[in-house]
Chains A and B, each alone.
Chain A
Amino acid sequence: MVSSTIDHLVAVTLFIGALLLFVGMFNQTIQTAVLFQQHSYIATKCSDLLDDMLLNPGYPANWGQTDTTPSSFGVQDPEFTQYQSSAFTLMRLQSSNGTAVTYSKTGLTYSNTTTSFGNFLLVPYTKTINYYQAENLLGLNNTFGFHLTITPVLKVAITENRANWPTSLNFTINTTGTGFPLPNATLNYYFLNVTEKGAITPPSYKIFNGTAYTDYRGQTQLTFGNAGDSYALIVYAHSSGVSGLGYYEHITSTTNYPLPLIASFKNQTLILAHSYDIHSYGSPAPVFFNATLMILTQNLNLRAMPMGSSNGITGSINYGNGQPYSTLTIPTSNPSILIITYASSSGYGVILMPWGLSSMSFPLVFGGNVNNKEWVATNIREITVNGISYQAQLELWSQTAIQLVT
């Protein structure tokens, strides 16, 4: 009787233990399978969403050149088909990685896509589409989060060598793709030599242009004689359908300069603000500027576009209360580069601003924070933005991940 009871107790204990163990083991397998299925769904959704963004211009189709919020989100260039994106639509997306800038004279905060000093792109938040608006317009509504990166395929790196300056000025150009260097690429270059005319007169500039070719390493040297102390070099590189752009500026002062801020996409207007009113660097002084526009033609050449007068728009801006900013109107709806030479008592120089993201091969980072997400799916497309090759990468994650027992 006793042995039978013991046998029963041992058997029940063993059975219950084994049952719990097997429930856990089977559950583990099922959980893994469910997770894999969920991840596979996110990957499919990522590919579909990237195509949705790139193959749809949104509504209205020209929303990149208006100041209104679209009722449907997409970045395709409305004048083209397939994977060609609008340089202006991309410019209206609020950058996720630049530090925003506030300008007290307009009372606005500006999205910052600036790549380096002298290469500015600042768009007021009121004229941009932010991540949450885009999520809603895409119908994601907190179910998925995304991070969109638009990166130029070609990196055109420019390094200067001033060892023999001012007799001669040497630049090394390196063209590199996302995978390998680009050998035998054609380079169309534009050297802007700035001529100082004193602290209270806007400097002028002359352009020297030419063509060069990269060697088997994707590298070449450019040499210019009699360069001043401030200059800029813009290089378009292209080979067999891949094209990109690089730029370099040398200036004598990083204080007291005109800072271009976009005012309206619809009216194609910009504000030129005094840098001291925004950054408060150094000792403030009035700034004298000369603004001209260079338009990028279809064969990747730069052509001067009259802006106000054939010699550009000149003027001055001062810092502090009661000193108004200057306003410029861009006379074209085509992607172009605004070139502003400036002078003040602290020095002179040249700054550039793209009108249309691609005209200076600017990258863009748009969307939410990808860190600490349970699973992130990635997909890539090669796209073209006004003739410049870009790579669009979308990272997508679920915001409503299945909560599993662990």
Chain B
Amino acid sequence: MRTVEVLIVISIITAAFLIASFYAVLPSPRQVSPLNLNRLALTTLESLDNNYALSTTAFEPVTNYRWSALQAALSASLPPNIVYNLTVYGLTSSSSPVMINSISNAASLGIGSDAASYLATSSNVTFNVTPQKISGRRGGTLYILNCSDANGWWITGYTSQQLAQDLGNMLSPYFQKTIMVNKTSQLGQILNGTKITTSSLENVTGAVIINTCGECVPIPSGYYATQGSQDGYAKYGWILGQKVQKYNWTWASIVGYPFYYVSNTGLFPNSQNGWGIYGMNQVGSAGLNAFLEGLDNQSYVNNGNWITDSLSGHVYLSSKAIYNSNYYGIYPSPYQTATRALQTFITTTYHLTISTYVFNTVGNDNPGALYRHGTSGGFLALGLDRPPDIRLTALGLLSDYQPRIFNSLYTANGTSRLVVLQLGQVGGV
């Protein structure tokens, strides 16, 4: 009797096992360890669009040869056991996506498939960028010293004319008027407060003046050469400082020790800077002190103290400059070498405030900063080693003036296409 009972129990357990086995369906090996087809599809689309080939093809007529090239590239790049279906949809704002074309290498994608999508953009789309013009009390006129009768120093590898041209191209969209000062006599005119063009947009007051001659500054012959000749032309620096304050200019020095030389090939035909460059006269460190005295409206004192330091290692762009580097699309190297970094004491001695740090302060030195005087006038000093990178000058000025950039809206119809790549596996289980 117990044997019968046990047999009944065995029957029940057997039934339980069979029922459990029937419902407990184990996945196939492919489902257990699947190839991530979604990721493979996405990376394939990205790879095909590496040099915009996919985006170009997506906008071609379906009869264009690029479609067959795309199919060949797809077949070549995917493993042989992968089948695909690539479909391109046109996107419009008013209706559902419209299928443009579809290419495939198999009638079906097997028992399991996965897909990835990619948005292709037409190469015909033009993005318009409209910069805000610097104007009003903030100036509006950019003078670039491009004097054919003045030489540069510490602009190794460039001429001041080359630098002037590049700066003009880079900065002119942001200013109401960009004017090349082609001769020292024209510099003399603007020092007198006189316009050098007939343009109504030229405004001497509030202008920005970029000296592309490096450590050298052009000097007009005549009145300024006579008045500024004291102490080896150190006083010319003082006169410039006075003018910067009087006309509320922003004076930009692109590299090295500012005002270290004065240059006029007509004025100094037989004088050289000590390194064999004729047409200039060495002023020495007194030129910069005199400029700062003039900017602060102090009496002229011949002061030959050296007020910069040579910093070891690299100096780094400030966070503001890095942000503006992205904003304006100007990408100089974020670290530089500064051998003429201005000492920080000048801010108190000459009543200056730093409105823009181009580089981070290092100890008691500012490798690059834009100084504003309490009354008026400004001075951008980049105390970097040669050769100059004029992108830093542009970045320093734009970081200070911060003109806005207005991007065109991207709403044009038919400028985007959706590419969907569906992959399946064949063979195996």
Contacts and interface: CB of A to CB of B under 8 A. Distances in A.
A33 B21 CA distance: 11
Interface string A151-194: 00110000000000000000000011111111110000000000
B80 interface: yes
A382 B73 contact: no
Given A14-B3, A26-B17, A381-B40, A40 B33 contact: yes
Given A7-B2, A43-B34, A242-B73, A18 B9 contact: yes
B44 A382 contact: yes
Given A15-B6, A18-B6, A179-B82, A242 B77 contact: yes
A179 B78 contact: yes
Contacts of B2: 7-8, 10-11
Interface string B92-103: 000000000000
Contacts of A36: 26-27, 32
B77 A389 contact: yes
If over half of B's interface residues share one DSSP class (helix, strand or loop), that class is named, otherwise mixed; here it is helix
Contacts of A147: none
Contacts of B57: 240
Contacts of A243: 50-51
A84 B35 CA distance: 21
Contacts of A181: 76
A133 interface: no
A178 B48 contact: no
B223 to A, nearest CB: 49
Nearest to B66: A240
A82 interface: yes
Interface string A294-333: 0000000000000000000000000000000000000000
A241 B48 contact: yes
A22 B73 contact: no
Interface string B55-92: 00100000001101110110111111010000000000
Interface stretch (A116-124, A198-206, A358-366, A372-380): A372-380
Contact of A40 (B6, B24, B32, B79): B32
Contacts of B33: 39-40, 42-43, 375, 377-378
A47 B68 CA distance: 31
A83 interface: yes
Contacts of A10: 2-3
Interface string A353-395: 0000000000000000000000101111111100101010000
Interface in A256-275: none
A356 B412 CA distance: 41
A18 B13 contact: yes
A25 interface: yes
A180 B75 contact: yes
A33 B24 contact: yes
Nearest to A176: B76
A209 B17 CA distance: 74
Contacts of A226: none
Given A11-B3, A379-B36, A83 B43 contact: yes
A29 interface: yes
Interface residues of B, number: 48
B362 interface: no
B32 A382 contact: no
A47 B51 contact: no
Given A11-B2, A377-B33, A240 B53 contact: yes
Contact of A382 (B47, B53, B80): B47
Interface in A1-35: 7-8, 10-11, 14-15, 18, 22, 25-26, 29, 32-33
Contacts of A22: 13-14, 17
Contact of A241 (B26, B40, B47): B47
A386 to B, nearest CB: 10
Given A43-B33, A179-B75, A184-B69, A241 B3 contact: no
B7 interface: yes
B117 to A, nearest CB: 15
A51 interface: yes
A241 B6 contact: no
A166 to B, nearest CB: 35
B26 to A, nearest CB: 6
A380 B3 CA distance: 59
A42 B66 CA distance: 40
Contacts of B82: 179
Interface string A197-241: 000000000000000000000000000000000000000000111
A384 B78 contact: no
Given A14-B10, A51-B39, A29 B24 contact: yes
Contacts of B69: 184, 239-240
A7, A25, A26, A382 pick with most chain B CB within 10 angstroms: A382
Given A177-B76, A179-B79, A242-B77, 4 more contacts: A18-B13, A383-B43, A384-B46, A389-B77
21 contacts: A7-B2, A10-B3, A26-B20, A40-B32, A42-B33, A84-B50, A153-B76, A154-B76, A176-B76, A179-B77, A180-B76, A180-B80, A182-B72, A184-B72, A239-B72, A240-B48, A241-B49, A241-B50, A381-B43, A382-B77, A384-B46
List the 3 shortest-distance A-B pairs measured between CB atoms, nearest first.
A177-B76, A11-B2, A241-B48
Interface of A: 7-8, 10-11, 14-15, 18, 22, 25-26, 29, 32-33, 36, 39-40, 42-43, 47, 51, 82-84, 153-154, 175-184, 239-243, 375, 377-384, 387, 389, 391
